[in-house]
Structure 1
Amino acid sequence: MAKNKSDFAGQTDDQLGENLGLLKREQFNLRFQAATNQLEKPSRVREVRKDIARIKTQQAQRNAAAGK
């Protein structure tokens, strides 16, 4: 599900917020899997973290452009 910057640019603010919530929930679950040594794909932790950062960057750019 790793996306690049342009994938998030085409989404509305609501879609970004929804995706951010889903990714944070997945990050939470991955942390628990890592703590109990049940993590199947360790690289997924990094992908999720980067996707969260991409969404937050997109939101910050939109807020700055809107003058908020």
Structure 2
Amino acid sequence: MALGSKDLAPAKLRELGDEELVSQLKEAKQELFNLRFQSATGQLENNSRLRAVRKDIARLYTEMRERELGIGRDAKTESDSDEKVS
């Protein structure tokens, strides 16, 4: 999956296993380190990439924490699935 793209959408993160999440997190942190280094040396061409990678890291941490707490978003609530009867 490409960091800083739509590939790390929450729906796709839920499909990943725990080990895959950890590996994605390590990859994202390494990417952020490299981008910050490039920024400090004046070699970074796309500054918006920093923000995108930071948001990806936040998404990964959020998904990991939701799993830890047992919070699932897979099932719809009853109010969403019930239709109004006229």
Fold similarity call, TM over 0.5: yes
Counterpart of 1:8, as a letter, is L
Q: Whole-Å Cα distance in 2 between the matches of residues 10 and 43 of structure 1?
A: 27
The alignment of Structure 1 onto Structure 2 pairs a total of residues equal to 66
Q: Whole-Å Cα distance in 2 between the matches of residues 17 and 48 of structure 1?
A: 15
Question: What runs of 5+ residues in structure 1 fail to find an aligned partner?
Answer: none
Q: Whole-Å Cα distance in 2 between the matches of residues 5 and 41 of structure 1?
A: 24
Q: Hey, which bits of structure 1, 4+ residues long, moved more than 2 A?
A: none
TM-score, normalised by the number of residues in structure 1: 0.91
1:54 partnered with 2:59: yes
Matches within 5 A, 1:15-30: 15-30=20-35
**Which protein is bigger by CA-based radius of gyration?**
2
- Of 61, 64, 67, which aligns to 2:69? 64
Question: What runs of 5+ residues in structure 2 fail to find an aligned partner?
Answer: 72-86
Q: Whole-Å Cα distance in 2 between the matches of residues 18 and 8 of structure 1?
A: 12
TM-score, normalised by the number of residues in structure 2: 0.73
